[in-house]
Amino acid sequence: MGERKLEPVLQEPGLWKNKNFMFLWVGKVISNFGFQIYAIALPLLIYELSKSALAMSMMRAIDFFPNIFIGMLAGVMVDRFNRKSIMKYAVILQIIALTGIVLLIFSNEIAVWHLYILGFILSTSGYTFGNSQHSAIPQLVSKQQLTAANAKLTFVDTFVSLVGPGLAGIIIALYSFGFSFSLYLICLVVMLVFLLFVQVPPVEREKKKQASVWADMKEGVHELFGNKTLLTPTIVTVFSNLSASLVIGVLIFYAADVLEASEKEIGFMFSFGAVGGLIGSLVITRLRKTMGRGKIYAWCLFIEIIGLAVLIFANTWWLIGLSLLIRSFAVIMSNVVYFTIRQEYTPNHLLGRVAGTSSMLMKLALPLGLFIAGLWAEFLPIPILFLISTLITAVLFVVVRRSEFSLVE
């Protein structure tokens, strides 16, 4: 057991020398920056076209659909075909859809329904790319490097989410929507170029007659529910997402309406959360060398409890920011642990389907929590909702600490 903990120390320098991983990592940095511009410009464009909050909410729901409706199907595709090809064609599909948006904007023909259709294509291809990338990582790096690789990829997401919105806001304010979407288009093209240099080894599959899509989906479900090591954190994450959505659904309303925080203060509030995520992505690799992943996951839940407890008594925007910092620190670390365990304990030829199935299950809890939170905020005190979220997380902590999963190294 002692030797296993020393292995990542010996292997770590090789990760930055891994050309395949580096091409993928750099491409992701560039495309993520472009996505931040898109994520802010899209709802603003919909609002300018419709002046409707409902139209904006519809777009958010459409962005969410791929996780639920095509998660398992995307997983089958990722496991059946070459993963580099899946990533490549997913990016090409995004480029085509985004080109359509740009042309419609510059021709002054853009309508909300165009954005719904093309936005759905972008979300679907983006989700498929993410599943394929997640499944390809164990083929690009060694088993000992998985935690470090996932931490570096997570760091990119968190860092860009910290600096991206501010830069995106400036770009949108200074230039047109057409320019903003064109910039994302350029980022995707650059991502595609880097992706062409990535070499993904073929997946070792069992030699048998190809089954139907439905049979392949069932195989992914059976693998997930038959994998005791992976099933525990998956179920915990489902309820953890429910707990988090109770908070997410009302947090901005609570800060603005009850605490009377300004737009600037709310912006700083969420920046605190991004800083916590950055710290978590930097700490997790070192923490992994001294502690088993099961224990890390459990204690991340405990840290979340502390963050939620701060939120219950928060009477200023900066206390909410502190709560977000603490919780993001824990959530990012637990996510890295979960991704790594899913990659390590799932046969690689099934990883796309297992990732698609588990992602679908975990995302199903979010709309329920958002709906409950919205209703609750209309009639009852919001801090009580924060207390309920804290209690749910506390129960999850006890469950994980008492489970065999806490012993996973």
> If you average pLDDT over residues 14-29, what whole number do you get?
86
Domain-wise residue ranges, the chain? 15-197, 213-407
- Domain 213-407 belongs in CATH node 3.40.50.300: no
Please give the radius of gyration of the chain, using alpha carbons only, rounded to the nearest integer: 21
Tell me the pLDDT band of 103, cut-offs 50, 70 and 90: very high
CB 390 within 8 A of CB 305: yes
pTM: 0.78
Of the spans 72-86, 218-232, 315-329, 341-355, which averages the highest pLDDT? 315-329
List, in sequence order, the alpha helices (H) in 141-227. Answer: 146-174, 177-196, 213-226
The pLDDT score that the predictor gives to residue 210 is 65
Q: Who has greater pLDDT, 18 or 102?
A: 102
CB 70 within 8 A of CB 120: no
Task: Identify the CA nearest to 21 among candidates 145, 118, 189, 158.
Answer: 145
**In this predicted model, what pLDDT tens digit does every residue of 316-351 receive, in sequence order?**
888 988 999 999 899 989 988 888 888 888 887 888
Q: Is the dihedral of CA 337, 147, 133, 81 positive or negative?
A: negative
Structure tokens at 197: 């240099």
Structure tokens at 51: 């002046």
**CATH fold match for the domains 15-197 and 213-407:** yes
- List all residues 6 or more positions away from 390 whose beta carbon is below 8 Å from its beta carbon: 305, 308, 309, 311, 312
Calculated CA dihedral for residues 328, 227, 68, 186, nearest 10 degrees: 60
d(CA 65, CA 86): 20
Query: At the fourth CATH level, which superfamily is domain 15-197?
Result: MFS general substrate transporter like domains (1.20.1250.20)
Structure tokens at 273: 């959360």
